[in-house]
Amino acid sequence: MKKFLFSSRSAASLSKAIILTTSCATVLNVSAQSLADAIKLTDKEQFEKATLAFNALLTADPQNGETWFYLGENYWSNDRSDSADFCYKRGVGVSPKFPLNEVGIGKVMWLRGQVVEAQAQFDKAVAISCDKANKCSKPLQASTYREIAEALAQGNSKNLAKALEFVAKSQEFDPKNPETFILKGDILFDQNPTDGGTPLENGFKPAINLDPLNAKPVARKAFMYYRGKNFAASIEEYTKAIAIDPSFAPAYSGRAEAYFMARDFEKATADMNKYLELNKGSQSARIRNAQFLFLVKKYDESLTEIQALEAEGVKNIVLVRLKAYDLTEKADFVAAEATMKAYLAEQPEAKVISLDYEYLGKIYQGLVPKPVPPTPPAPGAAATPPQVPGMTMNYDSLAAEMYLKAARMDRSKGYLFADAAKAYSKAKLFDKAIAAMREKIAQGKPEANDYYFLGDAANKGKRWLTADSAWATYIQRNGEVYQGYKFRARAQNNLDSAEVKAFTAKPFYEQVLLKMKPEEKEKYKADLEEALNYMGLYNLYNTEAKDLPKARCYFEKVKALNAGTSITKQVNEVMLLTKDLKDVVPGSCD
């Protein structure tokens, strides 16, 4: 089941084709159909109604381990892992021979990074289900293996290859269960997101064929297309899911997100409203609405909804995360930092996502003290320069660290390496900025701008050899813009010996003059002046190619440009008045 906006796939697959027995050797004391109805409510993201239904079943039969398991799954799907853990443990207490609650306890451990302990729980569950004395049915044994596979396919310790082995084992016991095929499709796509054909043929299509009146496998297929950024196909499949079951609320929220990504905001909003209508009065649906409002950049409305839910006593970790995001977008960085820290203190590390660290980076950059504008001086008094408030910590450096964390968690966010490099450069940690860009480039398929940011950090850090190499590559990839030549010229100029000047920057400054467009020459006068001045110095001081009329020509161009820089002042007050040039008639320097 897809979690709207912030996570790729919920761990719980709740539409079970066969309702199991509470213990392997006993029969349920409640109606199987009633339990099936409660499970369907969870599947439709009607979590509060499902909780009431499960509690009613437990009131009638509090010793029913299976009902405790599915109540736990209901909480799990609603991001309430602590409540889920309680239910799983309660289920083990009342029905120790029912294996799925052992899997549930292991799933919580797995998500928390307790891999060894979780594996022990999984082994215990398998042992219970396979113990002939317990007389567990084949469907229950299959479910045990499937639930373990589902656990292994999530969290920071995910093991997709092992998960597929458990899927295969599940299919041995129950070869025609559509839930197993849905899970297989999810895992296969996670294993290779560039290959949609394999999960489609081996997972989603068989599930649809086995249960053609079930909207869930069609919605999972739609989500696969969404993750593959094929939004048109995603919308089409979600529409099919809705046609099968118009009450299947997750299809509306999923299609809303697909419509949003396709920039059809009107239809996206209509689908989200339908989702709310189907889940009227549901706090979990309102949480999803707050997420959607954030997605469509309605940060004030999203924050208002969050505050209303908080006022009603709702405690939800996703809301805390979302509140931090909203506050960041509203530039309330102090409140955003406090909220994000509260979120990170509560959220298990395995459930922290790349976007969390990305936003924390934005928050830290927002906390960087800004210069205080100078106070206008009193008549006759000297003006005071802008003041920068004292910093108790280097927020730029902290921001860079968060951007790197985010980039390493999600390799599709290569731009964050550049953001980290920029932040490190602001903190004057140039070696770290260079390292960040080198890490990005080492990932493979570097872009021209990767070398731009590498060269920029190296220039600022005076690492001239690194800078020269970076700008050389940038020019190879983007040789029609003048900036690469300007920065390589600066690197070469600094590598040039001060004692025996070789003027190695000359060919690059010449390219600056050739590549600059007329409008750029007007807009970037300082860059043009820099190149003209260098060419003047070359023709004045290069003993092997000394050309005083040409030197005078370049300096006259600097004077006419009148960029108002220190170079302008130097040329006007010194260079044009030297004895070598004072009486020289300008030559040609076009």
Q: Where are the domains of the chain?
A: 1-178, 448-498, 516-590
| Phi, psi at 446, each rounded to 5° | -70, 150
- Over residues 78-100, mean pLDDT: 94
The pLDDT tens digits of the residues spanning 521-546 come to: 999 999 999 999 999 999 999 988 89
Report residue 383's pLDDT band, with 50, 70 and 90 as the boundaries. Answer: low
Is 95 in contact with 65 (CB distance < 8 Å)?
yes
| Statement: residue 390 has pLDDT above 70 | no
Report residue 497's pLDDT band, with 50, 70 and 90 as the boundaries. Answer: confident
Helix (H) / strand (E) element for 234: namely helix 231-244
Provide DSSP, 463-496.
-HHHHHHHHHHHHHHSTTSSHHHHHHHHHHHHHS
| Statement: residue 455 has pLDDT above 60 | yes
Q: In 3-state terms, what secondary structure has residue 6?
A: coil
pTM exceeding 0.75: no
The pLDDT tens digits of the residues spanning 255-306 come to: 999 999 999 999 999 999 999 999 888 888 898 899 999 988 999 999 999 9
- For residues 34-58, one letter each, b for 16 or more C-beta atoms within 10 angstroms of the residue's C-beta and e for the rest, the string is bbeebbbbbbbbbbbbbbebbeebb
Report residue 32's pLDDT band, with 50, 70 and 90 as the boundaries. Answer: very low
The pLDDT tens digits of the residues spanning 338-352 come to: 999 999 999 888 789
Q: Which CATH class is domain 1-178?
A: mainly alpha
